[in-house]
Structure 1
Amino acid sequence: MSPWHGANCALSILLSFLCFLPALVPALDITLDEPFQSSLASLPHSPCTALFTRNGRFGCGAPSRDPLEGVLLSWAGMEKGEGPINSSTSSDATQNGPIKFVAVFPDGTMDANAVEILTGTYGGEGGDGKVKLVGILVVNATAPQGMTISDYTSPTAASPQGENTPAADLTYDPEYEWNSAGDGLSYLNLGKTPGAFVADADVASYVLSTAQEQASSLSKNFAKTASSPLVSAKMMYYMGPEDATTESCLSWKDKYDDELSPKCLPLGGNSIWAIAGTRADPSAANKNKRSVVMIASNLDGPSMFHDTTPAANAAAGNILTAIMAAKAIGSFTDDILDSFKRQIAFGFFQGEKYGYIGSRSFLSDAYFPGLDCKKEVTQDDSMAYDAGRATCMHPLRPTLGFRELGEMYGMLSVDQIAVPETADTLYVHDDGTTIAANVLKQLSFGDVQVVNEGNEDVPPSPTSSLMKMSGGTLGGAVLAGYSEAFSDPYYGTYKDSASLRDIDLDSIAAAATIAARAAVSMAYYDADDDDNDLDNAVAFAQNNVAKISSDDEVLLLMANCLFYDGKCKFLEQYESVEDENDKARVGQSLSQYEHLGTPPSFFAGVYSFMYGQPYIASKGGYYGSLLETDLKNEDWRVTAHPSVLETSILGLLNDMLGRGSKGHKNITCSSTKQCQNQSICSGSDGDYAVCAGGKICVCSRARFHPALDPAFVPLEGELPGMFEMQYNETYDDGSSPAYTEPFWSADVGISIFRTSAVVEQAALWVTISGLFFCTLNIWVSWWLKGQLEKLSLI
């Protein structure tokens, strides 16, 4: 073969390769200005996902599985329907159809009104004739100059979980506008418009400046700009049909084999409940039950961008307050706690911001009307999920220990404590059905004032959930950091973050002290005819519950975990011991290490096999619920994979509340197996020892409870993750939202790339030419070789 032909062929191959090279080179910078760099590959972002309800859907999503591509544009007035292209631009300039674009919103400028105008003006089939909206990006740390915190809006509703939301029928005061900055953006159905939040400040700045420059250039010189290389986004976020509902996605069947193949999962997880004092003997559970005073907190926060739910004020501060209240009450001995007229309990409820999932599930099973268990089984203590307590196999409840609780006397919820409206001031919201407000207003101390709002409106919380489910006969109070309405315009946004404002640990310590003293007062209170009884109860609490310091070691450790580093060693320590406990019981690790992340994120998540749903593991398989009657005691176990947050809170509550027995000894352990023969829990036959994260044997005080909307029930005899909706007056009258989240496909994501019709066309011709000449050279070389062989020259 001639050397010339070989060189020519190699050159042709090189030309072809260079045309494909930009698509093969990964992103090395946050710009697209380097040679051969046409793509940022995967843009780091948090998606705006869709949620389904029984009546429809809301949130974002693409109209199909096909990728949507659009030029990045951002211009002043886009939220008012003012186009980016000069009105004098000739219609010939867009004869090939409108330019597809992705709108880029600077930080704090996207609200419900802007999105509705934008989608209404540019979101139709042909846009406005010149441009067509295909997606939305919100970029962090790019707020317009002069914008202040008061200019921000909250994407949740003005009446959170109330009027104009799917959970309106579950809220006791659905019309009260607690969230005055709320505009309901989160509840818009953007089923044809994918959206995302870009958190990285450098990437966000580049994306916004590029979008603004491109919009300005299009306005000044459309023809020239449209034919030049432009930075665009490709978005792939199909989230199901625009008219999907919870029922339609749960009952979806595969068209090829007609087998049930759900396309979504319920929201939820695991709540944790615990008691202070001795656990009752389950064999005598119906005798001498004391009524319950419960301190409650939500575990989750609301957000439009689920992967970015810092919820520092909406969730993290509440959790920390309730945990520190448990620590304070745990300083009492069991004998003292058992002598109170009422039992003190704690509830940490998952999914509260999405139809009160956690509190409704717990209250439905324990009280209103109580769980209708189709099959109860009690295992040997070594295998039981909760020693001495039965398991309900259908609907699956790992433990029926909640049946030992007495009737609910009152609930004290904590809310938005971390960023209070006024320093050294906490506010009481109550319904007047209990003594809670009368107790709380007597508990001011030092510079800390407790103010009773006195309007008998209760903000959305586990307390309002109790009020609604009891028909208003039971209630309590909410101890909050706001007065007549939420004082935090960042509620429900990605800016509710400890990295963006100061967290008031003094407020959290004070609220925990007051909540603990209030619970002790309400539990101690005799309620006879003596007018001094309430004063005596408050005095007892003030004298015996020590003031919590904001320098408390546990408070500081937990504050770091909840506000800054969700992968902290403190939470991992407690989670790892609980994992060892499960290993000893079921023979394998159940930990999935579902961390809060760094920074932490508090979205509830979905309820499934890998994300907290308890299931039955037997020799015959895995089941979300089961009625089979011939399983032998040793042939099955109930297991679950709660998140690190849920698991560590359970361990913390055991550690804080389980050291009060008169038989307690500091026996070290690495798992519960080492505590089983230790006589440290002498209160009753219902008590038993476990190993907690402090690696000390303590008495068991805390339990998980499935946080699953009562509208759902796991399908009997089926794999975990399969659910059906139940319709009956007892458990679900059709009022619950029944939230579900659709499955994500493997190829979802967003990439940024530089494109131009001229450049693409040139690249195509060069590629075709290179391939043509390469093929021609190969053929000529083959032909020439044959001719030379005939002439015996080779």
Structure 2
Amino acid sequence: MGAARKVLAAWATLAALALTGLQPARAEVNGVNAMTEAMLTEYASLPCVRSIARDGAVGCGSPSDRSVAEGGALFLVESVEDVTGLIENAQGFDAVALVVDDALLHGDSLRAMQDLARKIRVAAVIVTVEEDGSPQEPPRSSAAPTTWIPSGDGLLNETVSFVVTRLRNATQSEEIRALAASNRDRGYADAVFQHSARYQFYLGKETATSLSCLVSGRCDPLGGLSVWASAGPVPVNSAKETVLLTANLDAASFFHDVVPARDTTASGVAAVLLAAKALASVDESVLEALSKQIVVALFNGEVWSRAGSRRFVHDVALGECLSPQTASPYNESTCANPPVYALAWTSLGLENITDVVSVNNVAGNESDTFYVHSAAGTASANAAAALQSVASSSTDVDVSITSATTSGVVPPSPLDSFLAAELETDVSFGGAGLVVSGFDAAITDANPRYSSRYDRRDEGSEADDAEALTAARIADVATLLARHAFVQAGGSTSDAVNFVLVDETHAAELWDCLTKDFACTLVADVIGAEDTTAVADFMGSTLFAASEGIAGGAPNFFSGIYSPFPVENNVMRPVPLFVRDYLAQYGRNASLVEKATESAKYACAQDLECMAMTEPPECELGRSALACLRGGCVCSNAYFHDAVSPALVYEGGAFSVDAQKLADDDGLWTEPRWSDGTLTLYTSANSASTTIALLVCGILLTIGCVFALRKAQGMLDNTKYKLN
């Protein structure tokens, strides 16, 4: 009876307020929460997250108070003109929650929405998706326009004051579009009941910078783990110079959970991995006879001021561990500053790296012609000529390499960190620098979807046939990269052509895993998962599929936040783990893996278990590190390396910044710590007619409840029971 009386009291309060024309206070409205809670519907969605740099933030905003999330009426946006029209006719609207199709979310529309937010409150922007995820108009690159990206719409660089969240599937999208259309058909502000939405999500103060946020402990650095390895079965050798093949391991889009990066990242990763595997097939004695060693590296955190390559170059240029740790779970000395698990990187030396060849964006070009961009200087020009010579001699491949028209200038890639080494480390890189790509003067000429959530594989049988051709081209590019590295390391062109060749069948399988379904047999085999279902479970929220948001499909190439000592803390991300295991298994003799997996003594499920072994395999000091490969602990020549700004120092469980190591162009990117947001839909009262309707309903309900209570009391009196 107590609950019923509270409800009656709430209705009486609302009726009295309506009669007097007063607005109910928050505490008074809460009196009817028991009745309205059942009317709320929550939807799962993927929010746009703010990224905070040393000079400010980009991305989305949130309510200024972490405990408050004011809602707004659903407003259907079917064109940018709908937003501009609302700006001109905003009277009658207190707040709106814009419902926008995914294809309409681009730089121009977001800027219009921010203009709207200056006139009325934008409670949220809800992005809906189609069943097949296909855009209804040609997508554009989300990057800011530059010389290399002239058609970029700048979406990634926008800063807005409201939350933007993307629904996970088409079913939810249809429901919310229908509710917004209902609001529109009723005339929005004149409707009796408005379908409304709010989003509870707090991203910190709008004025935050990464420096202040790190000091307060409210942000984490963006980055992760890079992976590098010696190509082939030979560990790194400090007595030899180095030829380095590299690519970026991460990408970005407006939604951090939707980064398929087919051409932007996956194509370069595939090319480097395939080149490393091809080199591993060369006889060990042939590789040992080369005058130089070949190393491959996949750098993470590149979208965050080149965090991965910048850190690697800094550490290799330094060449020594400032804080060694003699007690090591990896059975060798490790380093606390910089924090790495193995000391093999000290054997490289920046001054001993004679060639850096970076590869990216080799899947957007449907042509068989690829381009080599050479850095300024004779060494780079000679290296470019050598690559073209190898390509000309490789009559067994179907692609060609031609010089880009932008001579002496290279597109964005990890090579930039090597070229800038002297400015940041006082150690110069005097070697040759090349970038191999599928474009000449502009990335978006070959791939208009570059660095956007639409840079993904299309669906359907015709698309699969086209992807098979793409995989074959990438295999040919990888063959040429591996042969070029072999020749630059001291081998002959004839030996390179005879010994080095990428398996196209394997290339097609790898390409499908990286662009279609990461929960594939190859990945399961490489990371030692029981089956593909176990891979999908491990991937969790880092998977991406157009129709289900993150329920399956290609891997998410967003780097994530940097976590110190991820192996010990068991916070490994799937993509770097797969890359490390792939390079370790195909870079060492397969017999090592087979021997470890056959021995119960070295059985493991993850690296952490190898670290805890009392008698692990004895790895060669400074040249290899323990890794759990296919269920067995093995001495690996593939390594993780921190991908985070060199200026960041981690001590005592907290981050600090070494200002002397902070380069001018190092954004020191961070992400605020946030909890999962909640998108809630409900019915709200937004007009005088609604107030009258509620008053009438309240009076009728009150009369009905009083009548029912008296009737019930009479019945109880007749049975000689008393109602207290």
Q: TM-score, normalised by structure 1?
A: 0.72
One of 115, 131, 150 as aligned partner of 2:110: 115
Aligned to 1:170: none
**Is the 1:655–1:692 Cα contact (8 Å) retained in structure 2?**
no
One of 403, 416, 440 as aligned partner of 2:361: 416
Q: 1:699 to 1:657 in 2, by over 3 A?
A: farther
In the alignment, the residues of structure 1 paired with residue 263 and residue 110 of structure 2 have an alpha-carbon distance, to the nearest angstrom, of 26
**Is the 1:304–1:492 Cα contact (8 Å) retained in structure 2?**
no
One of 138, 156, 164 as aligned partner of 2:127: 138
Q: Displacement, 1:187? A: 1.2
In the alignment, the residues of structure 2 paired with residue 414 and residue 709 of structure 1 have an alpha-carbon distance, to the nearest angstrom, of 23
Match of 2:572, SS? Answer: coil
Aligned to 2:57: 57
In the alignment, the residues of structure 1 paired with residue 73 and residue 61 of structure 2 have an alpha-carbon distance, to the nearest angstrom, of 18
- Is 1:183 the counterpart of 2:153? The answer is yes
- Is 1:706 the counterpart of 2:642? The answer is yes
Superposition map of 1:203-222 within 5 A: 203-208=172-177, 210-211=179-180, 214-215=183-184, 218=187
Aligned to 1:448: 399
In the alignment, the residues of structure 1 paired with residue 508 and residue 633 of structure 2 have an alpha-carbon distance, to the nearest angstrom, of 24
Match of 1:565, SS? Answer: coil
Q: Which amino acid aligns with 2:355?
A: G
Unaligned runs of 5+ residues in structure 2 are 13-31, 424-428, 531-536, 544-551, 605-609
Decide which structure has greater helix share.
2
Aligned to 1:378: 326
In the alignment, the residues of structure 2 paired with residue 615 and residue 572 of structure 1 have an alpha-carbon distance, to the nearest angstrom, of 21
Match of 2:640, SS? Answer: strand
Q: 1:300 to 1:690 in 2, by over 3 A?
A: same
Superposition map of 1:31-50 within 5 A: 39-42=40-43, 44-50=44-50
One of 218, 235, 240 as aligned partner of 1:290: 240
Q: Displacement, 1:304? A: 0.9
Aligned to 1:727: 659
Superposition map of 1:337-416 within 5 A: 337-367=287-317, 369-370=318-319, 373-379=321-327, 384-385=329-330, 387-388=331-332, 390-406=333-349, 407-416=352-361
Match of 1:83, SS? Answer: helix
CA offsets 1:232-274 (integer angstroms, 9 cap, x no match): 221223211111100111122xxxxxxxxx1110011111110
User: Quick check: 63-72 or 681-690, which moved more?
Assistant: 681-690
Q: 1:212 to 1:425 in 2, by over 3 A?
A: farther
Q: 1:24 to 1:499 in 2, by over 3 A?
A: farther
One of 465, 473, 485 as aligned partner of 1:519: 485
Aligned to 2:278: 328
Q: 1:142 to 1:643 in 2, by over 3 A?
A: closer
One of 243, 250, 253 as aligned partner of 2:214: 250
In the alignment, the residues of structure 1 paired with residue 619 and residue 385 of structure 2 have an alpha-carbon distance, to the nearest angstrom, of 33
Q: 1:670 to 1:602 in 2, by over 3 A?
A: farther
- Is 1:460 the counterpart of 2:412? The answer is yes
In the alignment, the residues of structure 1 paired with residue 447 and residue 310 of structure 2 have an alpha-carbon distance, to the nearest angstrom, of 26
Aligned to 2:519: 567
**Is the 1:100–1:133 Cα contact (8 Å) retained in structure 2?**
yes
User: Quick check: 681-690 or 230-239, which moved more?
Assistant: 681-690
Superposition map of 1:504-583 within 5 A: 504-524=470-490, 537-549=492-504, 551-552=505-506, 555-576=507-528
CA offsets 1:748-793 (integer angstroms, 9 cap, x no match): 2222334344557745775687578758976998899899989x9x
Superposition map of 1:299-338 within 5 A: 299-338=249-288
Q: Displacement, 1:134? A: 3.2
In the alignment, the residues of structure 1 paired with residue 415 and residue 77 of structure 2 have an alpha-carbon distance, to the nearest angstrom, of 45
Count matched residues.
651
CA offsets 1:64-103 (integer angstroms, 9 cap, x no match): 232131222235664586324996x9x7xx3xxx331123
**Is the 1:81–1:117 Cα contact (8 Å) retained in structure 2?**
yes
Q: 1:762 to 1:416 in 2, by over 3 A?
A: same
**Is the 1:574–1:652 Cα contact (8 Å) retained in structure 2?**
yes
Q: 1:439 to 1:737 in 2, by over 3 A?
A: same
Aligned to 2:598: 669
Match of 2:296, SS? Answer: strand
Match of 1:108, SS? Answer: helix
In the alignment, the residues of structure 2 paired with residue 742 and residue 684 of structure 1 have an alpha-carbon distance, to the nearest angstrom, of 41
One of 443, 465, 490 as aligned partner of 2:449: 490
- Is 1:267 the counterpart of 2:222? The answer is yes
Aligned to 1:534: none
Q: 1:769 to 1:115 in 2, by over 3 A?
A: same
Q: Which amino acid aligns with 1:709?
A: S
In the alignment, the residues of structure 1 paired with residue 695 and residue 340 of structure 2 have an alpha-carbon distance, to the nearest angstrom, of 62
Q: Displacement, 1:277? A: 4.8
Superposition map of 1:729-744 within 5 A: 731-744=661-674
In the alignment, the residues of structure 1 paired with residue 667 and residue 590 of structure 2 have an alpha-carbon distance, to the nearest angstrom, of 42
Q: 1:410 to 1:593 in 2, by over 3 A?
A: same
Q: Which amino acid aligns with 1:400?
A: L
**Is the 2:42–2:678 Cα contact (8 Å) retained in structure 1?**
no
**Is the 1:328–1:546 Cα contact (8 Å) retained in structure 2?**
yes
In the alignment, the residues of structure 2 paired with residue 402 and residue 343 of structure 1 have an alpha-carbon distance, to the nearest angstrom, of 13
**Is the 2:242–2:295 Cα contact (8 Å) retained in structure 1?**
yes
Q: Which amino acid aligns with 1:99?
A: D
Aligned to 1:156: 143
Q: Displacement, 1:685? A: 7.4
Superposition map of 1:564-603 within 5 A: 564-576=516-528, 596-597=542-543, 598-599=552-553, 600-603=555-558
Q: 1:231 to 1:402 in 2, by over 3 A?
A: same
Aligned to 2:94: 99
**Is the 2:234–2:588 Cα contact (8 Å) retained in structure 1?**
no
Aligned to 1:755: 684
- Is 1:436 the counterpart of 2:383? The answer is yes
Report % sequence identity. Answer: 25
Match of 1:656, SS? Answer: helix
Match of 2:84, SS? Answer: coil
Q: Which amino acid aligns with 1:567?
A: A
Q: 1:294 to 1:210 in 2, by over 3 A?
A: same
Q: Which amino acid aligns with 2:312?
A: F
In the alignment, the residues of structure 1 paired with residue 570 and residue 633 of structure 2 have an alpha-carbon distance, to the nearest angstrom, of 23
**Is the 1:687–1:699 Cα contact (8 Å) retained in structure 2?**
no
- Is 1:201 the counterpart of 2:133? The answer is no
- Is 1:230 the counterpart of 2:194? The answer is yes
CA offsets 1:557-605 (integer angstroms, 9 cap, x no match): 4333321223335334433479xxxxxxxxxxxx976674123211111
In the alignment, the residues of structure 2 paired with residue 364 and residue 198 of structure 1 have an alpha-carbon distance, to the nearest angstrom, of 41
Q: Which amino acid aligns with 1:460?
A: P
Unaligned runs of 5+ residues in structure 1 are 26-37, 160-176, 253-261, 526-536, 579-590, 617-637
Aligned to 1:533: none
In the alignment, the residues of structure 1 paired with residue 716 and residue 102 of structure 2 have an alpha-carbon distance, to the nearest angstrom, of 67
Q: 1:759 to 1:560 in 2, by over 3 A?
A: farther
In the alignment, the residues of structure 1 paired with residue 214 and residue 630 of structure 2 have an alpha-carbon distance, to the nearest angstrom, of 42
Aligned to 2:583: 653
In the alignment, the residues of structure 1 paired with residue 619 and residue 286 of structure 2 have an alpha-carbon distance, to the nearest angstrom, of 12
One of 63, 66, 71 as aligned partner of 2:73: 71
